[in-house]
């Protein structure tokens, strides 16, 4: 039986609520909607397709996985922007490993992952390849370090998505790659 939400004198079926929420893309508006009542919180959680986490330590992979089980796209920032100006030590954190292990298999709808200013190791990419396989449509590594281009050859899908034109930049003993096809520096992007 379909559940209904009562707002004032109006009763809104969940299917109608899901369709309306599908048109609301601004994350602040979605957050405000989820605060109306528990039912709307639940419908928002089930219908949300994209989440941006501005600092990876502000929440846990387990919490994101439980709250948004149908997530298709995740953008995750590791270190604060101050790290670009050497105001934060290199070993401060921002590791992608706990996130990769926490979400790779659990989020069955996940198609796009965007890591920014994170430490992404070859093992992390290997876990993603084994768990997501051909379901992964886009992997973006923006200002990330400690991975190699060899790890991108582990999957035929990632190898086919590998950019044709890239160059190496040495940045404080970390190899960071960037494509000529984007305007952002230090960004590695793979998309079909």
Residue 15 placed within a domain: no
Residue 43 placed within a domain: no
What are the tokens at 156?
A: 């035929």
Residue 106 placed within a domain: yes
Question: Tell me: the pLDDT tens digits for 32-56?
Answer: 988 988 888 998 999 899 999 999 9
By CB atoms closer than 10 A (0-12, 13-18, 19+), residue 67 is middle
Q: What is the dihedral of CA 97, 99, 102, 108, to 10 degrees?
A: -120
| CA–CA dist 16, 181 (Å, integer) | 41
Report how many domains make up the chain: 1
Q: What is the pLDDT of residue 32?
A: 92
C-alpha distance across the termini of the chain, in Å: 40
DSSP 16-59: HHHHHHHT---HHHHHHHHTS-HHHHHHHHHH--EEEESSTTSS
Residue 109 placed within a domain: yes
Region 157-174: mean pLDDT is 44
Worst-scoring range by mean pLDDT, 51-60, 75-84, 114-123? 75-84
Q: Chain-wide mean pLDDT for the chain? A: 77
Residue 83 placed within a domain: yes
pLDDT tops 50 at residue 63:
yes
Q: What is the pLDDT of residue 188?
A: 52
pTM: 0.74
More confident residue, 37 or 183: 37
> Nearest 5 degrees, angle CA 83-CA 87-CA 88?
60
Residue 158 placed within a domain: yes
**Where is mean pLDDT largest: 75-84, 156-165, 173-182?**
75-84
């Amino acid at each position: 039986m379909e559940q209904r939400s009562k707002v004032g004198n109006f009763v809104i079926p969940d299917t109608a609520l899901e369709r309306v929420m599908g048109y609301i893309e601004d994350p602040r508006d979605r957050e405000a909607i989820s605060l109306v009542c528990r039912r709307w919180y639940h419908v928002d959680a089930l219908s949300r397709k994209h989440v941006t986490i501005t600092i990876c330590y502000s929440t846990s992979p387990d919490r994101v996985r439980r709250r948004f089980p149908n997530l298709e796209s995740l953008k995750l920032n590791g270190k604060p922007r101050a790290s670009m100006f050497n105001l934060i030590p290199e070993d401060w954190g921002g590791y992608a490993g706990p996130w990769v292990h926490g979400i790779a298999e659990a989020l069955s709808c996940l198609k796009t992952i965007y890591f920014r200013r994170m430490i992404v190791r070859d093992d992390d990419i290997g876990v993603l390849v084994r768990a997501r396989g051909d379901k992964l449509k886009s992997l973006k590594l923006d200002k990330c370090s400690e991975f190699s281009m060899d790890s991108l050859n582990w999957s035929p899908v990632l190898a086919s998505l590998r950019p044709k034109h890239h160059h190496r930049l040495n940045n404080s003993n970390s190899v960071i790659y960037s494509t000529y096809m984007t305007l952002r520096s230090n960004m590695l992007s793979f998309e079909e």
